[in-house]
Amino acid sequence: MNTSTTASAPTTPFDVERIREDFPILKRQIDAQPLVYLDNGATTQKPQSVLDAIEHYYQHYNSNVHRGAHCLSDEATHAFEQAREKVRAFLNARHAHEIIWTKGTTESINLVAASFGKAEVQAGDNVVISAMEHHSNIVPWQMLCEQAGAELRIAPVNAKGELVFDGYSALLDSRTRLVAMAHVSNALGTINPVKKIVEAAQAVGAKVLLDGAQAVSHWPTDVQALDCDFYVFSSHKLFGPTGVGILYGKEALLNTMPPYQFGGEMIEHVSFKRTLFNQLPYKFEAGTPNIAGAIGLGAAIDYLSTLESTAVMAHEAELIKYAHERAIAFDGLTIVGEAEQKTSVLSFLIDGTHPHDVGTLLDQMGVAVRTGHHCAMPIMEQFGIPGTVRASFSFYNTLDEVDALFTGLEKVRSMLL
């Protein structure tokens, strides 16, 4: 570890070097320098076991699910439904049929907007989101409200990047049909008080969708304890493949909702007079699903179950704490998002530089970060900035990599200023 820093670099019992061995991409070199991957908010890397599970499926039992009268289809169907059960257990949902396969968080939110939203949100109603949402949790509600003649209400966020809870609860009334909030902000790392958010919404009879895209990889999620109506996330941010995601919904609610797309597995019976829809969860799964993706996500969940979650959380807490200490000690650096409750995201600006220039130069040193508005333009606008540099951490990152980020930033500063 680089000991030149004045900030304290704590030691950790978490065997991160052993865990890094599970992720082949972490051995990559970028321009003859070790890759320092700090863009986990955009997507996480995949352990070998996930890559193996996908390859094994295609090599040994590639087939369509719920359709074939043959061995391969049976095997594929079994693995696909087993993966659904793994997601159920991962979220602690009551039933496997409360788990709907989608393409990702964005599609899951669009599904709820198009199905629940269209059926339940009428002129004069309102939908409440927060000022720190990702575009995927803004635009579907904006479009729905425009079409329905409903009002989109925006819960305020303070200068530290925290939800102003009183401001949020003041927006709720008997016409609030839905509250849709990020569990964790992708741009700021703020952890929202989701249990309190749900309770306040339920007190006025509103349903709640939690966007778990940035939360699921950091600690165990329990949808029954949260008592949310919908919970959504993407496989690719949970060490699984891209192109697959999850919509969790309470059984009773999903049963009342109309289908979202039509054709394939969501059909029970078709005649030219009328069509009967399949039961949950298939009612919401039109067409051939991403079978390999689902199996890959199941393998990612299996992988996570081999890790000690308290050790993972302690290591990640150490990473973000250390990154903050180094950021505070760095001349001319402004942290964007200083919530008391935050996780694994360090968003910042360096005086006199543009985030894109910082990101490009860091990349030349092998350090991968994201720059820009992070698909959260409204919160950037509130802070009066075009964007930030965002380092986002996962459990396979090391304190040395935090040092590599700041060594890189020192070089950037000397190059640009």
- Residues annotated as catalytic are 375
Minimum separation from the CB atom of position 74 to ligand C6P (A): 31
With CB under 6 A as the contact rule, which of the stretches 134-142, 220-228, 327-335, 354-362 interacts with ligand C6P? 134-142
Closest to ligand C6P by CB, 135 vs 354, is 135
Binders of ligand C6P among residues 184 to 243 (CB under 6 A) are 186, 211, 213-214, 234
In angstroms, give the least distance from the CB of 18 to ligand C6P: 28
Distance CA 65, CA 386 (A): 46
Number of residues that bind ligand C6P (CB under 6 A): 17
Q: CA-CA distance, 220 to 365, in Å (whole number)?
A: 34
Q: What are the distances in angstroms from CA 172 to CA 23, 45, 154, 205, 293?
A: 45, 39, 11, 10, 38
Q: Residues of 226-255 as b/e, b for ≥16 C-beta within 10 angstroms?
A: bebbbbbbbbbbbbbbbbbbbbbbbeeebe
Contact pick of 44, 130, 137, 394 for ligand C6P (by CB under 6 A): 137
Neighbours of 116 (CB within 10 A): 24
Tell whether residue 42 is a contact of ligand C6P (CB under 6 A).
Answer: yes
The CA-based angle 385-236-307, given to 5 degrees, is 110
Pairing verdict, β 230-234 and 245-249: antiparallel
Q: Which is nearer to ligand C6P, 115 or 136 (CB)?
A: 136
CB nearer to ligand C6P: pick between 42 and 307? 42
In whole angstroms, give the CA distance from residue 6 to residue 410: 14
Stretch that binds ligand C6P, among 15-23, 27-35, 50-58, 103-111 (CB under 6 A): 103-111
Q: Which of 314/385 has CB closer to ligand C6P?
A: 385
379 close to 132: Cβ distance less than 8 angstroms: yes
**Cα-based distances in Å from 183 to 137, 190, 226, 397:** 11, 8, 11, 22
**Is the four-CA dihedral 406, 381, 377, 117 of positive or negative sign?**
positive
Stretch that binds ligand C6P, among 84-92, 101-109, 194-202, 393-401 (CB under 6 A): 101-109
Can residue 180 be called a binding residue for ligand C6P (CB under 6 A)?
no
| Minimum distance of ligand C6P from residue 392's CB (angstroms) | 7
In the region spanning residues 373 to 412, those forming contacts with ligand C6P, defined by CB under 6 A, are 374-375
Give the per-residue contact string, 66-85, with ligand C6P (x = CB under 6 A; - = no).
--------------------
Minimum CB–partner distance for residue 275 and ligand C6P (Å): 29
In the window 327-366, what residues touch ligand C6P (CB under 6 A)? none
What is the footprint of ligand C6P within residues 152-171 (CB under 6 A)? none
Residue the block writes with tokens 């720059």: 371
* CB 319 to ligand C6P: min, Å: 18
Choose, by CB under 6 A, the member of 106, 115, 217, 353 that binds ligand C6P.
106
Residue type (1 letter), 263:
G
Give the Cα separation of 389 and 350 in Å (integer). Answer: 9
- Cβ proximity to ligand C6P: between 278 and 392 the closer is 392
Q: With binding defined as CB under 6 A, does residue 368 bind ligand C6P? A: no
* 370 lies in the site for ligand C6P, by CB under 6 A: yes
Residue number, 76 or 128, with CB nearest to ligand C6P? 128
Nearest distance, CB of residue 63 and ligand C6P, angstroms: 27
Our finding on whether 136 is near ligand C6P (CB under 6 A) is yes
Minimum CB distance to ligand C6P, residue 367 (Å): 16
The position carrying tokens 């009334």 is 173
CB of 212 to ligand C6P, least distance (A): 8
Up-side HSE of residue 86: CA atoms within 13 Å toward CB? Answer: 20
Kindly tell me which of 207 and 374 has the beta carbon lying closer to ligand C6P.
Answer: 374
Q: Which residues bind ligand C6P (CB under 6 A)?
A: 41-42, 104-106, 134, 136-137, 182, 186, 211, 213-214, 234, 370, 374-375
